Amino acid sequence: MRCPITIAAIIVLLLAAGAAATDVDGLHSAWVPVADRSEAEFRRGIAKALEIVIVKLTGDRAAPKSKSGRGVVGQAKRLVQQFSYEVLRYGGSSTEQLMLRVEFDARVVNANMRSRGLVVWGKERPDTLFWLVVDDSTGGRYLLGADHDDELIRVITARARVRGVPILFPIADIAESSAVADAVSDIALEQALKTSSVKYGLRSILIGQLRQVIPGVWENRWTLSVEDESLTWMQRGDFISLLVEEATDLMADALGRRYATPQSVHTDVVAVTVNGVVSALDYARTERYLRSLDSVIDLFVRQVDGADIVFDITVAGGLAALTQSIAFGRMLDPDPVDAAVFRLIAN
């Protein structure tokens, strides 16, 4: 007997297969508007670009204005690796904006920040499932999904990119839309969406309930759930785009507090066993993956026993930091009993 598979089901399977985390690119680069190509504007632009980069790297919007942050920004010119200009045109209008793109030297920036006591949040970051339910002033309710061409989706996506935080929107299929429509209270809606979130397999979930109480006035409720922690806050205002942008910032701030590793963290050498390494290619995949993790400083092979390899790994933050980084990825499955044992996931 053949079972039909819908396009929506295929999308969910693909999302779940790629779930958990994303290695974020572009953490050390930024675009900023400038008035012209003068030296004065260049200096102002690279300072602003470095402030954006510091926020991405720390997960903290206040970091660039701190004493340590100002010290890093003061070194902006010598930290630039490359830059370019581009003219941005708005839609079909004749309005133009000169943009400066700045790429900073990642190694030097990270070292400079750490030497001043600033946190550096690495490239391994959890994907956040972003639910957005809108109640308009006429009593209508709808769920925004990944395929919707909506201004709010564009605002959230752009802000998340600036913050270096990967997000996913739900597919908003019939089942999810029905669950939203059937909820009779905020708590019931939140529970329905948490239930619907299970199939996506993500550790971080943000639920936004946007309610237009009268034309032009919005009251919003947000709940961020990250593993075993939950944070809820309310908003009220007239510009919905600014409200969802601020909510995206608050989400990024919370994730930064949760996952960015303080510079003062201890360094340990831990023994980690990886099962299922049956070929030279498997070994190369495993070693390359482990060395790519932000928390890994060094590693070497202690023992090989058939398809099991024991690595001695020097880790910033010890075994807890290593298991967190691995949990974000899609290369190794953790053993349910022993936190230092993993199985290589087949290609």
pLDDT of residue 5: 35
Q: Taking phi first (over 0 means left), then psi (-120 to 50 degrees means alpha), and beta for anything else, what does residue 275 get?
A: beta
Q: Taking phi first (over 0 means left), then psi (-120 to 50 degrees means alpha), and beta for anything else, what does residue 97 get?
A: beta
pLDDT of residue 266: 78
pLDDT of residue 20: 54
pLDDT of residue 316: 84
Quote the pTM value. Answer: 0.81
pLDDT of residue 18: 43
Q: Which parts of the chain have pLDDT scores under 50? A: 1-19
pLDDT of residue 4: 37
pLDDT of residue 184: 85
Place of tokens 């669950």: 179
Closest to 198 (Cα-Cα) out of 220, 217, 179: 179
Closest to 176 (Cα-Cα) out of 209, 145, 134, 152: 145
